[in-house]
Structure 1
Amino acid sequence: MRVILAENKDGANERQIEFQTPVVRMGRDSSTCQLTFDTSEYPMVSRRHAQISYKDGIFLLSDLGSAFGTFLNGKRLSSATPIKAGDVIQLGQNGPVIKIILLEVGSEFQEQVRAQGLSKGAYGNRSDLVEKFMPNAGFAKAFLMFRGESNRNFPITKEEFWIGRDSSCDLVIEASSVMVSRRHAKILTSEDKFLLVDNNSFNGTYLNGKRIVAVAELTHGDAIQLGFNGPLLEFCLSSAVQQNFRQDTPQFVKVSNSSVESAASPKTIVFHGGLISQEVKSKSQMAEPTLLMTLRLDEKNELRIGRDAANHIMLDSLQISKFHARLVWDGVKILLEDLDSTNGVFVNGRRVSKHVVTAEDIMQIGAFIIKVDAARNVKVYDTRARTRIDVIQLTKDVKNDRDGGSLRLLDNISLSIMPNEFVGLLGPSGAGKSTFMDALNGMRPASRGHVLINNLDLYQNLSVLKQSIGYVPQEDIIHRELTVYRTLYYVAKLRLPSDVSDSEIEQIINEVLDVTGLAERRDVLISQLSGGQRKRVSIAVELITKPSIIFLDEPTSGLDPATEEKIMLLFRQIAESGRTVILTTHAMENVKLFDKIVLLMRGKLVFYGKPQEALDFVGAKSFKELYDKLEEPAQLISGAGSKSLMMDKVADGWKERFLQTPQYRKNVQEPLSRIGKLQLTRIKQNRNLGIFGAVRQWFYLSIRYFEVLSSDKLNLAILFLQAPIIALMTFLVVDNNQTRDFIYFVLSLVSIWFGTSVAAREIIREKPIYKRERMFNLGLFPYVMSKIFVLSFIVGLQCLLLFLPLKLLDILGLMKMPGVFLGLPQLWLMFLTALVGIALGLFISALVKTSEMATSLVPLILIPQILFSGLVGVPSGLNKVIGLLMPAAWSFDAIKSFSGLDTLEPEGAKPDGETQGKGYYKWIEAENDKLIEKAREDFERYKIKAEESIKDYQLRLRDNLARGLTPPPPPKLDAPPKIENPKKIDENLSRFIVFLHPWMSEILSQIVLMLMFIILLIATIFCLWVQDLI
């Protein structure tokens, strides 16, 4: 047998090795293995790891008892498994990746086939390769052949004849031909009719040069193309060419540079992509939208528009809902109605729900344009693969912070980019490349000028055109905590209509993975990918929505030369698939791959044309000396002046020189001269998602965010361990005889700290992802609420883990923490306080520019909570007013209120409590005053009684003396009254709190905390909205 394998790195084949042995073994042992790997580089590969063999007409892959397993297309083998060309083998987790290029049977099997009277192609894992020819296959009424290769015919003998890269198809294109989808299209046979149906393929199916959006009937000689610039087939009726074929198994086609083998050969049929030709159209013709269909609105008639086949106008794009809109003629007027679609209906750039249509209106649904004339003829146009960009006098000025004047970043740039061109934005540092790109894609619009996409002003029609634009910024726009598949899945759920099924999402993800060379990395965490692979994932994210234009900002920055070349070749391939690709780059090694380059200097357009023309223009021999040649005239300029002024003069010189070139007339002047009069009406952009759309976004944003956070198990463990550790430290610190204020202060302060600290970086750390999703269709309210929803679970659990240990200590009598209703109101207040903390943290995250700044601001937010919460004593004066602004102060006071404890101070004392509304200190003072008063009264009574006794004695004494009698005995005074001991302040104050704020109460505190949460939520959304305007 003959086997060709290729080692695959970063999605590209590094080397190809051919084997012509009965068995191909793979491992580290060079004595027994045909394909060997170095131990130091691949320690996960066993000595004899796996083998490829051939048995009973089937190629098999077997694991040879390896330590780390053998994986086929991402799944670990448990037994010998059939394989085919295009399959991917991996030896161990993160081990070498091997792609099967060719599986071929030798002459020995040919004799076996001939002996059985077979005439079949051998391929992969087909179990029926040795079955006998089916006698009832019948006469094929039609067949396919590759245009220009009449010696290869593929009879259509089934009611459903599938074409694609999947081995189950009837006509199989080799797996490496990523222009073709796995199950790309099918031909249906109905009596004497043959119908062509596109299977929602990634690059579309073209019939006679026009992309089909509905079932199309085939006639003799029709040209079927699988994707833009893809394989070109010709449909033939047997009656027309008088050829007779029989077929009972699929034919297999392989894209290669080798020669063509006949279908009767036991070898895999080879399709040489270079032999395909197609009618070459001019760029101006390509820029015109394709007329798909024309229908008529009759009286009382209705035309439904959508992705479903039941519609009158079926549009095959996942950007379009199944039942998207409808046109209704009521006998007087034509009404366009949006049927609650996800991505909306636009008329003259404005999103509408209902609109009375006139002959001048341009309706747009996704990439399709609909026009209705005065005779009620409805024409549908397809702009996919027909997207042209015109830039007219684009100028951008910003404020110069140095002198308060203005600084010009873009200076009156005009040019035209034709459909499906691969254009590079080049220039020295500070030339304005990124600024120009952001002006082209609407991220940061220019101050003056226009960007037209198919004659629609981008800035005025951003809501409708943004669905046709893909943008990959320099920073990764992906969550590294997710796998490749999950990343693309959530992008599909967030950007595609809600009625797109999971099977359709699975199909588009598989297609995108194939196009970007990531199929074998489907279930790998993005954090484990190389830099080049991560960039491919960012590109795959944008390809999910099949944009017509893709902008990339420095996509090869930081990549090694080999990876950079592979990425550039990928962009070249994407452009050839029917998309316009524009990127900025500093690297000059692969400039030759561009169709055209835009050369900028000091914000001025100094050249626009083919790469080789740019070299001739500046007089450079290579692209590496291009920039040196641009700046060379600066050395010849004499006179005083800053370097900046000199470079401005040089740029002006190159600009004036370019205006005199043929390239300027061909690429700028002539294309722009064909543009009609511009409509300069400013249209209000509408981002309204509707209630259902907002809820759907919130749902999937929440699930994705939860998956991102839950992937970091260590961080979650640290977060959840914080609470019980703080509870333990609180127990160790608090004296059982102290008031309970500190415990309740810990509950309130730590709750707000939990919320603030966990949320303070959650927006800023994913700012590139947020900006890109916001540019597409992300709603601010669903986005912020998804953060709050997920974080509230984490912080709520933290609060519970703090409260429960402290409450358990209270129940066990080890530390008192009283609370009414088992402390449940206190737990609720902790959660409410934590929500305010989350909102405060998100506001910080929306406000700052870096994660480090957010982290630095958290202590500055929490310290005032400590100082002004009321822990240090009863607030007074300005302190009392400032405390009203602190969430911790309201929370602290409410938690104390729900303790049921009386106070030491009069503020907040309970009238029916122990202190009778006076506060413990005042109550002690009052009780002692009572004792003093009672003692005073007792002594007064004692004094009066004693004085009366003495007075009576004196009277009797005088009387006896006057009468000469014996003096009476002296009176016996009662014992003096006893003075009760004064009340002392109890050493155990654990049944008290210090005070309750006189301006606060349990109900009011909760209301205020809720208002604080709402205000901070609105402030966060407002802050993000303002950033949209900057």
Structure 2
Amino acid sequence: MFSTRRDVGDETAAADRGPRRLTGGPNLGALTRQLDGVPLAAVCTVGRAATNTVCVDDQLVSRAHARLTRTADGLRLQDLQSSNGTYVDGHRIHDTYIDDGALITCGNTDFVVNDQQLRRLPTRGCGDGITSGDGIRVDGVGLVVDGGLRLLDDISFTAAPGTLTAIIGPSGAGKSTLSSVIAGVATPSTGHVTFDGHDVHADYAALRTRIGMVPQHDVLHHKLTVRHALGYAAELRLPPDLTSADRDHVIDAVLAELDLTAHADTRIDKLSGGQRKRASVAMELLTSPALLILDEPTSGLDPALDRHVMSTLRRLADAGRSVLVVTHSLTHLDMCDQVVLLAPGGKTAFCGPAHDVSMVMGSDDWADIFGYVAARPDDAHQNHRRRLGLGSGTDDVVVVPRRMTRPSPPPPTSSAAHQAGTVGHRQCRLIIADRGYLTFLAVMPIVLGLLTLVIPGSAGFALATGTDTAGEAVQILVILIIGATFMGTALTVRDLVGERAIYHRERAVGLRPGAYLTAKIAVYVTATTCQSTIMLAITYLGKGTPTSLVATIALTVATATTGALGVLVGLAISATVGSTEQTMPPLVIAIIAQLVFCGGLFRLTTPVVAQLSWLFPSHWGYALAAAAVDLPTIAPGAPQTHDAVLFEPS
């Protein structure tokens, strides 16, 4: 289609690794000759702002998105630090020279440089931001995983714009796997998936905003209202230079399209199953995708809600989108334009309108049809191939092997600071919205602080005057340090695993892992610092403060820092377990280990045990706290004493 003549500046090779020709796309030459274009002056700017040479009404386009400049060396294209990037033939560029015929993508909008003009490819005319093209095309797709297990085998079909396609089949036939491949989440071993002429996997970064994927399980924070959930999603997915009013306009339009306006201020956990599923769809519609894929959207719904969801999908398809739905429900297949029936092993057994299935399969009873394809998947697949005139073997179809790689994560849509701020603000709202959890957070430091008052004695952090108070300071420090560790760990141990599905979806649309984790740490460290302060305040009121202001500050810092490290321990546990139900055993083990290795129960003198204790935050927290209150002086003979400078066992 075009060639890159010369890269400009110091951009990395990965950013400008060279555009490619489109495969299977529309005839751009014939198409663009019929379009009105903007003559390319010396300088031509593209963006959402009215001051640009080419003003684009696309919320995914930045106010100042890209610039085309005529130079002696040719036509130079520069990305103006846009949020969603500028792409040439599916590859992101920063500063490059292009030739006539180049396909330029900004947001959801495509342009072609043709006859010294910049021509915009037309929309489908059914909704802003939905681009023209030939829809989705699946060509000979197969997927083999490690060990040689074949999950998909030679699947081919097309789904034009404005169509609703149902993917059905017995359990284990590969329906969800196929939807993941089409969405670009998984890479096929053979074959290709193209969307509007772009290779979905090779050009995923350019296409990610045009593909909406709604997983089987809701990727929503149930404690938020619908409007708040969509608001945070819009902040993460839409350009940061979009005003709050513009974002609200996008959200209101999506709510209206899905009949959710009346429920905008309802908490998601108060919605019905069908309403929650529509809220999940609304999340994806924020970027005006032209391809919408849903995995089991009617699972667990009653017949009335099932019909309502399918009617909604029919409307979304009628608006010009290509809609693919994986479903076990067969009641409303008449609403679909075509049905793709998969047999076990990921083989196609039927593809066509639902009303043709009885003629092709010899029965209109879906139970009989499913039983046949489950028992004889190879025969069903070969019969399907013969109906298409492809013969009885896979040699008739030429498929291109692909190198198995994990799909590259898309480039971020906004700065790390912006994303961290959004995630942090959302996390604060989630904590406040969960009244039971908030009450637990408030009560826990009070209870732990009161426990220090149960310790016999009145010396507190002063010099022990009798045998009955000799261990008082040690016992107080153990409760404070282990209490801080417990609060920090318990605060976060269920967090990451509880929203893993949400994170994976947000990661797929450009969320930075570093920004996400930084926001979590910042919010929870702040929370546990407040908890530690409350616990210490109660202790100081009942047992008195250390002998000096410096010692009091040092003890406060030691306790708060230990709590902050407990936050990291909790996040580490949450990142490694498979479900929220699995968090309790490692939490208990972690807290007991922190207690044993803190150094306040017995001397850690055994060589291996002493070195092992260095791995536990409570060891260093107790060391700092003991040094702060001068434990060797006020509690002679304590199990473990620490040097006031090095905080090392003396």
User: Structure 1 length normalisation: TM-score?
Assistant: 0.55
Question: How far apart are 1:285 and its partner, in Å?
Answer: 9.7
Closer, same or farther in 2 for the Cα pair 1:531/1:679, shift >3 Å? closer
Contact 1:347-1:363 at 8 Å conserved across structures: yes
Structure 2 CA distance for partners of 1:870 and 1:408, relative to 1, 3 Å: same
**Cα distance 1:835–1:352, how it changes in 2: closer, same or farther (>3 A)?**
farther
Deviation at 1:577, TM superposition (A): 0.4
Residue number among 642, 652, 656 corresponding to 2:378 in the alignment: 652
1:809 — aligned with what? 542
Q: Say whether 1:525 aligns with 2:170.
A: no
Structure 2 counterpart of 1:597, from 334, 339, 343: 339
Equivalent in the alignment of 2:581: 852
For 1:476 and 1:289, how far apart are their aligned partners in 2? 40
Return closer, same or farther for 1:462/1:407 CA change in 2, 3 Å cut-off: same
Choose from 990, 995, 1006 the match for 2:640.
995
**3-state SS, counterpart of residue 558 of structure 1:** coil
**Which residue identity does 2:166 align to in structure 1?**
G
- CA distance 1:689–1:669, change in 2 (3 Å): same
What is the deviation of 1:426? 0.5
Are residues 1:340 and 2:68 paired? no
How far apart, in 2, do the equivalents of 1:429 and 1:396 lie? 17
Q: 2:395 and 2:73 mapped to 1: Cα distance?
A: 45
> Offset of 1:864 from its aligned partner?
1.6
1:380 equivalent in alignment to 2:120: yes
> What is the 5 A alignment of 1:3-82?
none
| 1:718 equivalent in alignment to 2:440 | yes
Aligned equivalents of 1:328 and 1:746: distance in 2? 68
Distance 1:991 1:873, change over 3 A: closer
How many residue pairs align between the two structures? 601
Matched, 1:394 2:116: no
2:470 corresponds, among 738, 762, 765, to: 738
Q: How far did 1:786 drift?
A: 1.3
User: Residues 289 and 592 of structure 1: is their aligned pair in 2 closer, same or farther, counting only changes over 3 Å?
Assistant: farther
Letter paired with 2:566:
G
Match of 2:596 in 1: 867
Larger radius of gyration: 1
Deviations 1:81-104 (A, max 9, x none): xxxxxxxxxxxxxxxxxxxxxxxx
Query: Which letter does structure 1 place at the counterpart of 2:640?
Result: F
- The answer for the alignment partner of 1:826 in structure 2 is 555
Shift of the alpha carbon at 1:480? Answer: 1.0
Q: 1:541 to 1:684 in 2, by over 3 A?
A: closer
Amino acid across the alignment from 2:87: F
Deviations 1:617-676 (A, max 9, x none): 111124454323434xxxxxxxxxxxxxxx4xx2111111111225989xx999x99x9x
Alpha-carbon distance in 1 for matches of 2:454, 2:270? 44
Q: How far is the alpha carbon of 1:732 from its aligned partner?
A: 0.8
Distance 1:612 1:329 in 2: 56
Instruction: Tell me the equivalent position of 1:177.
Output: none
1:440 Cα deviation after fit? 0.8
How big is the shift at 1:476?
Answer: 0.8
Note the residue ranges of structure 1 that are not aligned, 5 or more in a row: 1-282, 400-404, 632-646, 904-988, 1006-1030
- The one-letter amino acid of 2:553's match is L
1:527 CA displacement:
1.3
Where do residues 298-337 of structure 1 align in structure 2 (5 Å cutoff)? 298=41, 301-337=42-78
Question: Contact 1:393–1:412 (CA<8 Å) still a contact in 2?
Answer: yes
Give 2:613's match in structure 1, choosing from 867, 883, 892: 883
Asked if residue 628 in structure 1 is aligned to residue 371 in structure 2, the reply is yes
Higher helix fraction (1 or 2): 2
- Please tell me whether residue 481 in structure 1 is matched to residue 223 in structure 2: yes
The amino acid of 2:592's aligned partner reads I
Report the Cα offset of residue 999 of structure 1. 11
Sort the Cα spacing of 1:536 and 1:285 in 2 relative to 1 into closer, same or farther, 3 A.
farther
* Distance change in 2, residues 1:624/1:780 (3 Å): same
CA shift digits 1:713-748 (9 cap, x unpaired): 222112211112112122213444123122112222
Report the 3-state secondary structure (helix = DSSP H, G, I; strand = E; otherwise coil) of the residue aligned with 1:413: strand
CA contact (8 A) 2:108 2:131 kept: no
- Against the structure 1 CA distance between its residues 556 and 788, is the aligned structure 2 distance closer, same or farther, given a 3 Å change threshold? same
Within 1, Cα distance between the matches of 2:249 and 2:348? 42
* Greater RCO (CA < 8 Å, at least 6 residues apart): 2
Report the Cα distance in structure 2 between the residues aligned to 1:564 and 1:317, rounded to whole angstroms.
33
Query: What letter matches 2:360 in structure 1?
Result: F
Q: Give the Cα–Cα distance (whole angstroms) in 2 for the partners of residues 575 and 468 of structure 1.
A: 14
Read off the aligned partner of 1:1001 and give its amino acid letter.
Answer: L
Look up the SS of the partner of 1:534 in the other structure: helix
Relative distance call for 1:840 and 1:349 in structure 2 (3 A) is farther
Aligned to 1:766: 499
Amino acid at match of 1:446: P
Are 2:552 and 1:781 equivalent residues in the alignment?
no
**What is the distance in 2 between the residues matched to 1:890 and 1:447?**
51
Quote the sequence identity (%): 27
SS in 2 for 1:423: strand
What CA deviation, in whole Å up to 9, does each residue of 1:421-463 have, x standing for no partner? Answer: 1000010111110011111102222233221112221111111
2:93 and 2:131 map into 1 onto residues whose CA distance is: 26
1:614 matched to 2:357? The reply is yes
Question: Which string of whole-angstrom CA distances, capped at 9 and with x for unpartnered residues, describes residues 290-346 of structure 1?
Answer: 875423334xx1111111222112221111111111111122232211112111112
Distance across 1 between alignment mates of 2:218 and 2:209: 20
**Out of 291, 294, 304, which is 1:562 matched to?**
304
Question: Aligned letter for 2:470?
Answer: Q
1:754 matched to which residue of 2?
487
Displacement of 1:369 = 2.2
Residue of structure 2 aligned with 1:838, choices 556, 564, 567? 567
Q: Kindly indicate which of the two structures has a greater share of residues assigned to strand.
A: 1
* Cα 1:848–1:522 shift into 2, 3 Å: same
Query: What is residue 795 of structure 1 aligned with on the other side?
Result: 528
Answering whether residue 209 of structure 2 is matched by residue 467 of structure 1, we say yes
> For the Cα contact (< 8 Å) 1:687–1:779, is it kept in 2?
no
- Distance, in Å, in 2 between the alignment partners of 1:686 and 1:332 is 34
Distance in 1 of aligned mates of 2:402 and 2:237:
30
Note if contact 1:474-1:555 (Cα within 8 Å) is conserved in structure 2. Answer: yes
Instruction: Kindly provide the CA deviation profile for residues 500-534 of structure 1, in whole angstroms up to 9, marking residues without a partner as x.
Output: 12222222222111111111111111111111111
Distance of aligned partners of 1:680 and 1:860 in 2 relative to their CA distance in 1, 3 Å threshold: closer
**Which AA in structure 2 matches 1:377?**
Q
Q: Residues of 1 paired with 2:528 and 2:474: CA distance?
A: 23
Evaluate the alpha carbon distance shift between residue 756 and residue 509 of structure 1 in structure 2; reply closer, same or farther with a 3 A threshold. same
Does the Cα contact within 8 Å between 1:461 and 1:685 map onto a contact in 2?
A: no
* Deviation of the 1:612 alpha carbon: 1.3
Q: What is the rounded CA distance, in whole Å, between the counterparts of 1:663 and 1:836 in structure 2?
A: 65
User: Quick check: 1:353 aligned with 2:98?
Assistant: no
Q: Structure 2: how far apart are the matches of 1:679 and 1:842?
A: 37
Partners of 1:492 and 1:669 lie apart in 2 by 47
Q: 1:745 to 1:783 in 2, by over 3 A?
A: same
- Which secondary structure state, in structure 2, belongs to the residue aligned with residue 804 of structure 1? helix
After TM superposition, the structure 1 = structure 2 runs for residues 173-212 of structure 1, keeping only pairs within 5 Å, are none
User: Counterpart amino acid of 1:693?
Assistant: S
Out of 529-538 and 449-458, give the one that drifted further.
Answer: 449-458
Aligned counterpart, 1:452:
194
* Letter matched to residue 553 of structure 1: D
- Partners of 1:541 and 1:348 in 2: how far apart? 27
8 Å contact kept, 1:619–1:629: no
Aligned structure 1 segments of 4 or more residues deviating by more than 6 angstroms: 283-286, 288-291, 677-684
Equivalent residue of 1:626, what SS?
helix
- Offset at residue 362 of structure 1 (A): 3.2
